[in-house]
Amino acid sequence: MRTFGKANKLEHVLYDVRGPVLEEATRMEERGMRILKLNIGNPAPFGFNAPEEVIQDMRDNIVNSQGYSDSRGIFAARKAIMQYAQIKKIPGVTMKDIYTGNGASELIQLSLHALLNDGDEVLVPSPDYPLWTACVNLAGGKAVHYICDEQSEWYPDIKDIESKITPKTKALVIINPNNPTGALYPQEILEQLVDVARRHELILFSDEIYDRLVMDGLEHIATASLAPDLFCVTFSGLSKSHMACGFRVGWMILSGNKEIAKDYMAGIDMLSNMRLCSNVPGQSIIQTALGGYQSVNEYIIPGGRVYEQREFVYKALNDIPGISAVKPKAAFYIFPKIDTKKFNILDDQQFALDFLREKRVLIIPGKGFNWKEPDHFRVVYLPRIEILEDACQSLKDFLSTYKQR
């Protein structure tokens, strides 16, 4: 019998939006239970709003946004992104090097589809934002995971990367700031990553969607700014910095050595044309969103919600016997470690399911981020402190008696 489909390629990916733990949470909700969802980086349900002027701008522009636009995006949006690229010191970006997308997600998928032939390998971090692994595999490639080292602030392990490069390796994916660890990579780490790509002639994909959610006075450095001689694709958007996930506004910027990527760029262009364009009302707010006063800055300084919630969750989790976590520097995730021996944990999905069933709190096991050991989970710390306090207390109570077997 002929069978159809390729979903098997996506097994174990996208755990934050699907998978057994989420399915169980949905069943529990259908039975009338209230679940505290710490599973997805979606600020709106937790009382974060897009800036008023951005919403106003979309309202004003909606009448004029009815037609398809240029497949790369409207002029004003790309101009604003180009200026943003200049601020981030990404060299040589022209209007033709910018593509808007229905979120960065669409462009991550598009950029990998345009690049990969069957069996091509792409170096993807572990833990990762699992869309990357899914998109590489779906495009016919093979995601090869390199380790990010918890002992070193979750920075990529350069030796591990080097050891995994083969003649089939085409690209290196960098997620900075990182989801799920909240790490921010300093210049020397980025330079080492760029150097690996340089020596092995790899394309650099840099996912920088959290670049404006950096705390502690630290500065985000665009990978592409350090690699003018390499071909780089930088991804960003408004979902996180402008708390506007639902508007689906993202972009990618091509930069560096475009000479080597003429064929690739032609493929990107074709795929971009095939989807006609990204949603035009979404594009219409980019200029307003990127210019001038950035309200997100108020969330990430002492007294701001994201900052204070991070302070709270970091301390509260580390106070739980058997849990330890590196302090995140950016974004709104923390990726704590569980003492698996203490709790006899062999299966992190089972741990997440047991915690969900007993305490009605939804977290995502490390497995969902292509982390091989059963010893981590991710917490989204977007809820207010009172709610995070309940969640951490629930975890503490749960673990005070938990033994997996």
Q: By CB under 6 A, name the binding residues for ligand PLP.
A: 41, 103-105, 129, 175, 179, 207, 209, 237, 239, 245, 250
CB of 385 to ligand PLP, least distance (A): 22
Least distance in Å: CB of 343 to ligand PLP? 28
Nearest residue by C-beta to ligand PLP? Answer: 103
Closer to ligand PLP by Cβ: residue 129 or 402: 129
Instruction: Give the residue with the Cβ less far from ligand PLP, 189 or 320.
Output: 189
Residue number, 39 or 340, with CB nearest to ligand PLP: 39
Q: Minimal CA–CA distance to 190: which of 170, 169, 211?
A: 211
**C-alpha to C-alpha distances, 225 to 112, 137, 175, 286, 383, nearest whole angstrom:** 22, 28, 15, 22, 34
**Smaller CB separation from ligand PLP, 99 or 129:** 129
Nearest distance from C-beta of residue 131 to ligand PLP, angstroms: 6
In the complex, the smallest distance separating the C-beta of residue 32 from ligand PLP, rounded to whole angstroms, is: 29
Dist. CA 183–CA 154, nearest whole Å: 6
Closest approach of ligand PLP to the CB of residue 233, in Å: 13
Q: Which is nearer to ligand PLP, 268 or 399 (CB)?
A: 268
Q: Could you tell me the smallest distance in angstroms from the CB atom of residue 88 to ligand PLP? A: 17
CB of 109 to ligand PLP, least distance (A): 10
In 3D space, the residue among 103, 14, 41 whose CA is nearest the CA of residue 23 turns out to be 14
The smaller minimum CB distance to ligand PLP, of residues 247 and 398, is found at 247
How far apart, in whole angstroms, are the C-alpha atoms of residue 389 and residue 225?
Answer: 40
> Which of 132, 139, 162 has the alpha carbon at shortest distance from 369?
132
Rg (CA), the chain: 21
> CB of 15: closest distance to ligand PLP in angstroms?
12
Nearest one of 220, 217, 138 to 178, comparing CA atoms: 220
Nearer to ligand PLP, 184 or 320 (CB): 184
Query: Is residue 306 packed enough to be buried (19+ CB in 10 Å), middle (13-18) or exposed (0-12)?
Result: buried
Identity of the residue, 16 or 359, whose beta carbon is nearer to ligand PLP in the bound complex: 16
* Other CB atoms within 10 A of residue 259 CB: 7
- Residue type (1 letter), 35: I
- Strands 121-126, 142-149: parallel, antiparallel or unpaired by DSSP? parallel
Buried b (16+ CB within 10 A) or exposed e, 8-24: eeeeebebbeebebbeb
